[in-house]
A and B are shown apart, each in its own frame.
Chain A
Amino acid sequence: MDNAATPSIRTIGLGRDFADHTAVHRLDLEVNAGEVYGLLGPNGSGKSTTVRMLTTMLRPSRGTAQVAGADVARDPGTVRRRAGVVLQGTALDPLMSARELLRLQGRLQSLTPRQARARCTELLTAFDARDFADTPVGRLSGGQRRRVDLAVALVQRPDVLFLDEPTTGLDPASRRDLWDEIRTLAANHGVTVLLTTQHLEEADQLCDRVGILRAGRLIASAAPHALKDEVGDRFLTLRFRDASAADQARELLAAKGEQLHTAETAPHAVSIRLARPGADGETLLTLASAGLHAESLTVDEPSLEDVFLRLALTPEGAAA
C-alpha cells in the first residue's frame, strides 16, 4: 500500500440514522497509514456508531467508507480480514481460555491449525499471557482480559486496529502497558489505529491527531498541540508579596487591556490570559517598569481537556 497516497481509513459523507435520531450525520475523515487517531466526544456523540460502521457491524445509512482500501458496504469480508477490533467492554467467551480463543480466532481467519497454534504461542508470549493461557477468561482480572482481547484482535496481523474505549476499567499500570503496546504497533509495525476514548490524557499521550465529535458531527480534527494552540487558553499567574502590590499590578494590567482571570488562584496572585505570542514577556516588562516584581510566576498551558470542554460541551455555535 502506498502510505502517502492512500489513507488507511477514509469516509465520505458517512452517516447513520436510527428510528428516532441521527447518530452520525455526514462524516468526512481520513486517517493515514501508521497514524494513531483518536475520536473524542461526549456520550452519544456518535463515536461508537462510527466504529461500528467502519468495522462492518452496522450498515451506514449514507456515504461511503473504506478501511485498508476495502469498502465497508461492498467488501465487508476484506475489511474483516484487514482490520482488528477491540470493542467497548470485553468481547470474549468467559468459558474459553486465552489459548482456545486465540486458536479459534486463527482458524476463523483461515490460518491452518499449525499456523493458528504458532500465532497463539507468539501472542501469548508477546502479551505476557502464558501464565494464565489455560484459565477461563471469566476468571481473569480486567487487565488480563483486556490483554487477551487485544491479542485476539491482532491474530490476523491487521493493517488497521479499531479500539473502542480500550482502557475503560483498567488500573493505571495496565493502562500504561496498553498505551505502550499501541505506540509500538503504530510506530514499529505501521498499524493504523483509530481509538475512541473518554480519557483525554490518553488521547493526548497516544494520538497523532484527534477528532472531536459533537452530536454526530466532526467539529475539529487536528494534532492535539494544534488544537490546544488554536482553541485552548494560556494563562500567566504572578504572585506578589502582599495584597497592595497585587492590586497595583491588577490595575496596571487592566489599564493596558490585558484579560484578567478573575478566579483567585492563590493569595496575592494575579492571573491574565495570554492572548498573543510574547504576551508573557511584555507583561513582565510592563510590571517591572512600574517597579512591581513578582515573587513567582507560572504559565499554565492548555490541556486537551480545555479544548474538549470548549469545543464538545459548549452550546453549538458558542465555540470559538
Chain B
Amino acid sequence: MNRYPLWKNVLILLVVAAGFYYAAPNLYAPDPALQIAGASSSQQIDERILGRAEAALTSSDIGFFGEVLQDQGKTALIRLTDREQQLRAQAVLARALGDGFIVALNLAPTTPDWLVQGGAAPMKLGLDLSGGVHFKLEVDIAAATERKLAQYESGIKKRLREERIRGRVSIDGGQVAMQFREEADREAARREVVDLYPELFLDRVDAGDDWLLYAQVTEQTMAEVVDYAVAQNLTTIRNRVNELGVSEPLVQRQGRNRIVVELPGIQDTAEAKRILGKVANLEFRLVAEANAPISERQRFEYRSPDRGGMTEWLERDVIITGESVANAQAGFDQNGQPNVMISLDGEGGMMMSRATRANVKRRMGVLFIERKYRTRYEADETGEERPVRIPYDEKLLLTAPVIQSALGAQFQITGLDNPAEASELALMLRAGALAAPITFVEERTVGPSLGAENIQLGMKSVQVGLALVVLFMVAYYRVFGVAAVVALSANLVLLVGIMSLLGATLTLPGIAGIVLTVGMAVDANVLIFARIREEINQGAPPQTAINNGFDRALVTILDANITTLIVAIILYAIGTGPIKGFAVTLSVGIVTSMFSAIMGTRALVNAVYGGRRVRALSIGGLGRPAGGLTETAK
C-alpha cells in the first residue's frame, strides 16, 4: 500500500528536472554590456567599426571581452568586465563612433549553451528592479475625432461645390450640419453624401424655411478613428524609441487610447520625453526650375537608401506642411499600380489647389523633417570634457512626383515601384503628419541603485521567510515536515522555472508574491497532515491513515485553491505593470503548489513509508510521538 507506480515517480522527477532546467538560467548573472547599432536601419556594423570600438575601449583602460556582431551585422555586442565602468564605456564609445551610431547599455545573458538549446532563458527584471523609466501616454481622442469631423466637413463642401448644390455646411456639436433652401437641393446633397461617405448616418430635419440635413459619425467609425490614431502613434513612438539607444524597450498599447513605454536603464527622462514627444513634420514644395536663381532654391538628399546620394533642387517656398495632412493611405490605383492616397484638411486643400493649378507637369517634392542632435564635446570650467547636444532639423526628400493635374484636398501619388514602397511612404507621411496629440499621464523613474536594492531586499525576504517556514515545518511535523519542505523547495524551483519559460517579468510585487506563495503553499500539506493525524487519532493503522489523509484533503485543497485562483485572475485582469506581475506569480504559485504538495509530498512520503510495515508515523503532535491510539490533544 502507498506505493507510487514507477511511471508516476518518473513523471514527478521529470517535471521537477524540467523545472530545474528552466529555472537554472536565473543563476547565471548577466554581463554588463554595450550594444552598438546604426542610427539608421541601413547602417551595417562590420569588423572595422567593431575594431574602432575596441581600440577606443582599450585606450580608455576599460576591460571588455566577447565582442560579437549580431543580427546579420545590424548590431554588435561588447561585454564589459566591470559594471562600474558601463556608463563611462558608453560615453567613450559614443564619442569614438560619432553620431551615426547608437550605443545602448545592455545586460548580456550568460546562459550556457546547454540551456539555451532547450529554450531556457532567465526572467526579465521589471523596471522597479532594473531601474529605468516607465511612461504612460494618452492619445487625445477628442482631437482625433475633431480632425476627422473637419475632414468630413471639407470633403462634403467640396463635393457640393463640384455638383453645384447650393447650401451651407458647418460643424455643429459633433456632426456635420447642412442647410438648404430647397428640398430638391437637400435630396441631391443627400445622394452625394451617401455616395461619398457611406459610413455616415444621415438625418433630415425641417425647420421653417430651411431644409436641414445632419450627418452623424457612427460610434463604429469613431472607434475606428481612435484605433487608427493610436496605432499611428504607436508606430511613430516605436521608431523614436529606437533612437534612444535602449536595449529591450517595451512599447505597448493599453486599453483604448493609452500607450505604455518602458525603457530599462534610462535615467535621463527629460531627453527620453523630448524624443518621444517630438513631432516630425512634412513640407510640400515645388521642384525648382533649372534656371531659378540660387537664392530661391535649396538642394535636398533622398531619404531612401535605394536612391543613396541622389539629390533634387526644391524651391524655398513651402506650399503646405504636415499639419495640413489629415491622412495618407497606401493602396492601388485604377490600373492596379501601388499608390498612396493623401487627404488634406480644407485649408490645405485650398493652398494645394492654388499652388498646383498653374504648375501642372512640374514636379512636387515632399520633405520629411526630423529634429536630430549633433554631439559636440566641450571642456567645462573644471577642464573636463562634456558632451553638448546641438539640435538641428534634418530634412530629407521622400519623393518628388510629377503634378498631373490641379490637385485638391484629396490626391494620390502614383508610379511607385511596389506595394512595400507605397506603404513605407504612407507610413512616413502619417508619421510626419500631426497625429492626434499625445500627453504623458504617468511617469515612473527608478534609479539603478534603488533597483539593485530592491532585488537585494526581495531576495533577503524570500530567504528569511523560507528559512522560518522550513524550521517551523520540520519542528512541527518531523519526517512529514521534511517531505513538505522538500516539496516546497521543488515548488519554488518550478515556480521560477515556469515564470522564466512564460517570459514573465520579475517585479518587486512579484517577489512578494513568491514570498506569499511560500507561506501559503504549505497549506495543502498542513491540510493533508492534519487529516492523517486525525485518522491516526481515530485508530487507523499508519498506511491507511496516510492514504485516507491524502484522499480526504484533496477536495478541500482543490476548492480552496480554485477560489484563490479566481481572485488571482481578477487581479491580473484589472492590474497594471507590477500588480500584473504579482497576479502572475500568485496564479502560477497556486498551480505549482498544488502539484508539489499533492503529488510531490505523496511521492516522498510513499518512498519513506510505502510498501512496508510501519509502526508509527513521524508526523509530530505537539511534542509527543504520534501514532498508536494515544489521543492527541489539539
Q: Do A and B bind each other?
A: no
B residues near A, CB below 8 A? none
Interface residues of chain A, those whose CB is within 8 Å of chain B, are: none
